[in-house]
Structure 1
Amino acid sequence: MPRPRAFDEESVLDNAMNIFWRKGFETTSVQDLVEETGLNRASMYSSFGDKKALFLRVLEHYSAKISTKRFEKLRETADGREAIVATFKDTTLQCCNDGRFKGCLMVNSGMELAPHDPDIAAISHRAFRRVEDMFANALRRGVDAGTISGDKNIRALARFLAASFQGVQLMARRGSDPETLQDYTETILAALD
């Protein structure tokens, strides 16, 4: 009978997520993961597989834990325009709040790995499509509420908003100051008028 795990899997995934988020996949070593998670190499490999397998689990964990919360208002606020504005403004503030300028793990990973890793490219594509669909649904709610003009091309505007949202994340990652991010966000939101 296998021995029960002597660690909290969610805590390990949180710690691995944080190091991958800070350093990226390529520059995070297995030793970094051992130090950050508190697992020894044997436990890490037997529980999660190799570094890439752990990273794929981390991306799932990130999506469930961080992305779900990040897009909560976009999904749940009744007025779509209000949902979009709140999502962008909240994210712009959060991007600089902790002073670490981490951006978005999913966006960072897509930029770093998608061009040469089909698994990450597929995950990045699915994540972008989910965000695009959430923006499209919010836009429809805004049109229904009369806060967004009905003559907008919903799918095209949703793609623009999803790509622009990634732009906010990338600008934060490179250390843009809050004023620049706010200016960028206001310009994006003008597309709703």
Structure 2
Amino acid sequence: MARTKEFDPDAALQSALELFWRRGYEATSMADLVEHLGIARASLYATFGSKRELYLRALERYGEQCGPTVVEELSQPGPVLPAVRALVMRFAEEASRDALRRGCFVTNTAVELAAHDPECARRVEEAWRSLETALTSALIRARAQGEFAADRDVADMTALARMLLVLLQGLRVVGKADPDPGRLRDAAEQALTLLG
């Protein structure tokens, strides 16, 4: 007869996500995970496989929790540029209020692992492409609605979306290292002047 799990795998995955997000991949050992999750090492391996597999599942979970919010914010009917401005300012505010200095789990993965882990690099690129696509679509819609000068073409919207992607990720990195609200707010506001 098969034994039933003595823990909730979903809750354990969420707890692992929080630990990896706070400490990073390399600084989190299997012993740390065993202690933090309160799960026997054998059960952890049987349920999630290796530490790396657990990390990748945590990264996937993070994307499921955070990704749809941005797309929803940018796809609301009505004027687009106020939503883009609000998104940028929200990233700046969240980065300055992050008492744990966790940053963005995707950005943390990019900085720590993407250069030498192709699967992590692929997942980071996938997350960034999704955000860039949402920004590009929103800006093209804003252009079609007359929120930009008529001489701004679609290529301008794509380049602007890429700049905003880099800004948003940069806000998370700077906020993790030095969450000075003035620095983050000033950077965000200056970048937003490009929206017109």
What TM-score do you get using the length of structure 1 for normalisation?
A: 0.92
Counterpart of 1:72 in structure 2 is 72
Q: CA offsets per residue over residues 98-149 of structure 1, 9 Å max, x none?
A: 4122110000111110111111111111111111101001101211222233
Aligned pair count reads 193
Tell me how far 1:16 sits from its aligned partner: 0.7
Which of 137, 142, 160 is matched with 2:163 structurally?
A: 160
Counterpart of 1:171 in structure 2 is 174
Q: Is this contact kept in 2: 1:83–1:138, CA < 8 A?
A: no
State the distance in 1 between where 2:41 and 2:70 align: 32
Matches within 5 A, 1:26-105: 26-76=26-76, 78-105=78-105
State the distance in 2 between where 1:3 and 1:10 align: 18
* AA at the equivalent of 1:45: Y
Between 42-51 and 146-155, report the one with greater CA deviation.
146-155
Q: Is this contact kept in 1: 2:98–2:176, CA < 8 A?
A: no
Which runs of 5 or more residues in structure 1 are unaligned?
A: none
Task: Assess, with a 3 A threshold, how the Cα gap between structure 1 residues 29 and 71 changes in structure 2: closer, same or farther.
Answer: farther
State the distance in 1 between where 2:7 and 2:22 align: 23
SS of the aligned residue for 1:76 comes to: coil
Which of 186, 189, 194 is matched with 1:186 structurally?
A: 189
Larger Rg: 2
Which runs of 5 or more residues in structure 2 are unaligned?
A: none
Q: Is this contact kept in 2: 1:114–1:124, CA < 8 A?
A: yes
Counterpart of 2:23 in structure 1 is 23
Task: Assess, with a 3 A threshold, how the Cα gap between structure 1 residues 156 and 123 changes in structure 2: closer, same or farther.
Answer: same
Q: Is this contact kept in 2: 1:95–1:103, CA < 8 A?
A: yes
* AA at the equivalent of 2:188: T
Task: Assess, with a 3 A threshold, how the Cα gap between structure 1 residues 71 and 123 changes in structure 2: closer, same or farther.
Answer: same
Report the identity percentage: 35
Task: Assess, with a 3 A threshold, how the Cα gap between structure 1 residues 76 and 38 changes in structure 2: closer, same or farther.
Answer: farther
Task: Assess, with a 3 A threshold, how the Cα gap between structure 1 residues 74 and 49 changes in structure 2: closer, same or farther.
Answer: same
Task: Assess, with a 3 A threshold, how the Cα gap between structure 1 residues 98 and 55 changes in structure 2: closer, same or farther.
Answer: same
RCO (CA 8 Å, sep 6+): is it higher in 1 or 2? 2
Between 127-136 and 92-101, report the one with greater CA deviation.
92-101
Q: Is this contact kept in 2: 1:109–1:120, CA < 8 A?
A: yes
Tell me how far 1:9 sits from its aligned partner: 2.4
Between 110-119 and 92-101, report the one with greater CA deviation.
92-101
Task: Assess, with a 3 A threshold, how the Cα gap between structure 1 residues 118 and 51 changes in structure 2: closer, same or farther.
Answer: same
State the distance in 2 between where 1:163 and 1:19 align: 26
* AA at the equivalent of 2:184: L
State the distance in 1 between where 2:120 and 2:82 align: 32
Between 67-76 and 119-128, report the one with greater CA deviation.
67-76
* AA at the equivalent of 2:50: D
State the distance in 2 between where 1:86 and 1:140 align: 17
